Amino acid sequence: MAINILPFGFSDIPSLLILFIIGYVSHFYYRYFTRINPIPGPIPLPIVGNIHQKIGYSLGEWYKLLHKQYGDMFEVNYAGQRIVVLCRPDLLENMNTTSTKTKYPIRFNNTEGLVEYGVSAVGVGHNNVPKSWKFNRQFFTQAMLTPSFNHQAIEWTYELWKEMEIYWNKIGENQELDLGKWMHRFTNEIIFNIATGVKNNSVAAFYYTVVDPESIKTLDKTEQAKMEYSEEFVQSIETYMSGVGYFFVLNKFIRNNVPFFREKIKMLLKNKETLFNRIRKIIKERRYEIENTPLDQPLRHDILTSHITANTPRDINIIKHSDDVDMSRPMVDKEIFGNIFESIIAGTDTSASVFCFVVYFLEHHPEVKKRLRQELDEVFGNDSTKPITFKEIEELHYCDAVIKEVNRHSPVAFMIGRVSSESDNVGGCEWPKGSVFHMYFGSIMKNKNYWTDPEKFDPERFYKVEESDKDKYLLEKKKLKNTYSMFGGGIRMCPGRKLAIIELKCLIACIYRSYDVDLVDYDAPIKYESGFINSCRELKVKIKPRSF
């Protein structure tokens, strides 16, 4: 009997699409409901996962709601990637170990999108190749342990503060300032100077091109061009940072084919190349400068010079940390670029946001501000023009406690990622190699089981707590493990943490020993964005000379 095969026509396409969708959705939910270690969490949708449920919430707020609904260990799905969120210290036991044999040497998986965007096996923070990470980190450590590093960081911070003070005085007393924007420019210029030895004029450019653009006409043409170039450079960095989420979440097909995203991605990649080329140019020019500096003349001390000269006859690094032959070779430009670029990116947003959060909390707690100023006056005396020294910075113990308590209430790094390199038991479940975890410190640091009166803002819980009243802050006296985080933990702890604290203490001292800061709207919550970190975007204040 002859078999008639019906011809395929355009009218059959919708039917095939329906069958394909039914098959895809059925397969997706079969895999979901038969997944290993099913734990509580919102049910995801195909393709997007749970991303649609986050709409209207910051990431921190969303995790807080999910924690309340699903408990201390729950899961979410980011466009197909399963993530286990941990909200209890004992669940983090193996994730913050300082041993190099840790099962969690990686912070998060680098997707193909992040690799395309330049976030791959370079630098330290985003580097998932253990040998490369170890190699790059040792140079960070060497650069920051040079004898002059701490003193130079304080000197540059103080000098830039005096420059910014001039622009604030030009604006006038009791005028509104967006402290968030000023601090982002300040920290960007400081870390850029420390990383490259180049003054990028970020603070000056902000004043002349954004705050008072008419004033740029008072500069000569060369200075005008310098200000405009600097502003473009800073805007390029901000644009780059705003694009990370697109490359982390969106797959290649969506990035290259969906109309809105396609144009956005093209713009971001073009900006990336411009930004990267500018930094590569700085590295190239520094190499040339070093090669043409006579051997009897000293070289400048910054991270870039330290990296270029490391393990060469011109090595400015006094402290060495490895006898390993593989770790004793000079760095190549790709490695240097990764470390320098990561320093600039990581050192701008975080420090600026922490400082803004400090100001916000101090202005809402005048008794804490009064106690802080007492310490500033005790350490520095009445001369507010006196330069700050490293010894004085180390004496600011209550200031240190204020920073820690602000971070507990409003952490910049509220969530820290970990990826397992081998199977491990977490929460009574055996998780396979490659499992992704988020340690949610935003919840842990406000939990009444680990903190006394956790909603209360009181730096005393970090200030000489052992000497306090017998019944006060009993939980804090126990120093429970994995209950606090500011710079991460384990082998992935931030290598720039000491620099960040120096910069913050120096800034707090410079401003609060000389000026009164008033919030424009005391009733308004601080405006911040919550992606991978909490980032202050606006804090309107008025500055006037301190009244004694």
pLDDT at 159 over 90: yes
pLDDT class of 141 with cuts at 50, 70, 90 = confident
386-437 per-position pLDDT tens digit: 889 999 999 999 999 999 999 999 999 999 999 999 999 999 999 999 999 9
Q: Which residues are annotated as a binding site?
A: 494
pLDDT over 60 (residue 369): yes
Domain span at residue 255 reads: 130-413+485-545
What span, in angstroms and rounded, lies between the C-alpha atoms of 442 and 528?
15
Q: Which residues, other chains included, contact 338 with Cβ-Cβ below 8 Å and sequence gap of 6+? A: 122, 123, 127, 136
Q: What tokens appear for 363 in the block?
A: 């202005």
In terms of Cβ atoms closer than 10 Å to its own Cβ (0-12, 13-18, 19+), residue 238 is middle
Residue 242 has pLDDT above 70, yes or no: yes
Could you tell me if residue 458 is inside a domain?
no
Tell me, yes or no, whether 403 and 309 share the same domain: yes
434-449, pLDDT tens digit by residue?
Answer: 999 999 999 999 999 9
Which of 72, 73, 70, 96 minimizes the C-alpha distance to 83? 73
Phi, psi of 445 (to 5 degrees): -80, 0
Same domain (yes/no): 274, 155 = yes
Tokens of 513: 């020993």
pLDDT of residue 105: 87
Determine how β-strand 436-440 pairs with β-strand 415-419. Answer: antiparallel
Lowest mean pLDDT segment, chosen from 77-91, 314-328, 380-394, 415-429: 314-328
User: How many helices and strands, by DSSP H and E, does the chain display?
Assistant: 20, 11
User: DSSP 3-state assignment of 488?
Assistant: coil
Q: Check: CB of residue 169 under 8 Å from CB of residue 177.
A: no
Q: Are residues 152 and 233 in the same domain?
A: yes
Share the mean pLDDT of the chain. 89
User: What is the sign, positive or negative, of the torsion defined by CA atoms of 78, 81, 84, 85?
Assistant: negative
What confidence score (pLDDT) does residue 399 get? 97
Cα–Cα distance between 195 and 301 in angstroms, integer?
10
Same domain, 100 and 149: no
Q: Are residues 281 and 420 in the same domain?
A: no
Find the angle CA(143)-CA(144)-CA(148) to the nearest 5 degrees: 95
CATH at 47: 3.30.43.20
Q: What is the mean pLDDT of residues 361-383?
A: 94
Residue 148 in this model has a pLDDT that exceeds 80: no
pLDDT value at residue 506: 95
Could you read off the pLDDT of 246-299 as tens digits, one per residue? 888 788 888 888 888 899 999 999 999 999 999 999 999 999 999 999 988 988
3-state secondary structure 355-422: HHHHHHHHHHCHHHHHHHHHHHHHHHCCCCCCCCCHHHHHCCHHHHHHHHHHHHHCCCCCEEEEECCC
Q: Which of 289, 285, 304 is nearest to 343 (CA)?
A: 304
Does a structural domain hold residue 117?
A: no
476 occurs within a structural domain: no
What integer pLDDT is reported at residue 404 of this predicted model?
97
Residue 217 burial (C-beta neighbours within 10 Å; 0-12, 13-18, 19+): exposed
Whole-number Å distance between alpha carbons of 456 and 459: 10
Please give the pLDDT value at position 321.
52
β-pair partners for 542: 176, 518
Q: What pLDDT score was predicted for residue 180?
A: 93
Band of the pLDDT at 78, cuts 50, 70, 90? confident
Q: Are residues 53 and 199 in the same domain?
A: no
CB 526 within 8 A of CB 180: no
Shared domain for 225 and 336, answered yes or no, is yes
Specify whether 134 is located in the same domain as 102. Answer: no
Q: State yes or no: pLDDT of 31 exceeds 90.
A: yes
Largest separation between any pair of C-alpha atoms in the chain: 107
Looking up tokens 């007492």 gives 374
Please tell me the predicted confidence (pLDDT) of residue 400.
96
Neighbours of 105 (CB within 10 A): 20
Residue 139's pLDDT is 81
Cβ pair 153, 503 in contact under 8 A: yes
Q: What pLDDT digit, counting tens, does each position of 472-493 carry?
A: 888 888 888 899 999 888 888 8
Query: What is the structure's pLDDT at 363?
Result: 96
Question: 389 with 418, same domain?
Answer: no
Residue-level length of the chain: 548
Distance, CA of 108 to CA of 80 (rounded, Å)? 15
Query: Can you tell me the distance from the alpha carbon of 26 to that of 23, in angstroms, rounded to the nearest whole number?
Result: 5
Domain CATH for 370: 1.10.630.10
- 387 and 421 assigned to the same domain: no
Q: Which residues are annotated as a binding site for heme?
A: 494
Span 515-530, pLDDT tens digits: 999 999 999 888 888 7
243 and 171 within one domain: yes
Answer whether residue 144 shows pLDDT above 80: no
pLDDT digits (tens, 9 = 90+) for 99-126: 878 899 888 887 888 889 987 667 787 7
Range with the poorest average pLDDT among 154-168, 225-239, 249-263:
249-263
Dihedral of alpha carbons 306, 310, 316, 322, sign: positive
Is residue 473 situated within a structural domain? Answer: no
Contact in structure between 286 and 305 (CB atoms under 8 Å): yes
pTM over 0.75: yes
Q: What total of structural domains would you count in the chain?
A: 2
- pLDDT level of residue 347 (50, 70, 90 thresholds): confident
Question: What pLDDT is stored for residue 267 in this prediction?
Answer: 96
Co-location of 407 and 419 in the same domain: no
Amino acid at 422: E
Nearest to 429 by CA among 83, 73, 88, 96: 73
**What pLDDT shows up at residue 249?**
76
Please report whether residue 85 resides in a domain: yes
C-alpha angle with apex 37: 32 to 39, nearest 5 degrees? 80
Helix-, strand-, coil-residue percentages of the chain, each rounded to 5 = 55, 10, 35
Structure token pair of residue 535: 């980032």
For residue 455, being part of any structural domain is answered with: no
Q: Predicted confidence band at 147 (pLDDT cuts at 50, 70, 90)? A: low
Which amino acid appears at position 142 of this protein?
Answer: Q
What is the predicted pLDDT for the residue at 528?
85
Beta-sheet pairing, 424-426 with 534-538: unpaired
In a domain, 222, yes or no: yes
How many Cβ atoms are within 10 Å of 208's Cβ, its own excluded? 25
Cα–Cα distance, 394 to 501 (Å, whole number) = 10
Confirm whether 468 is domain-assigned.
Answer: no
> In which residue are the tokens 């606006």 written?
538
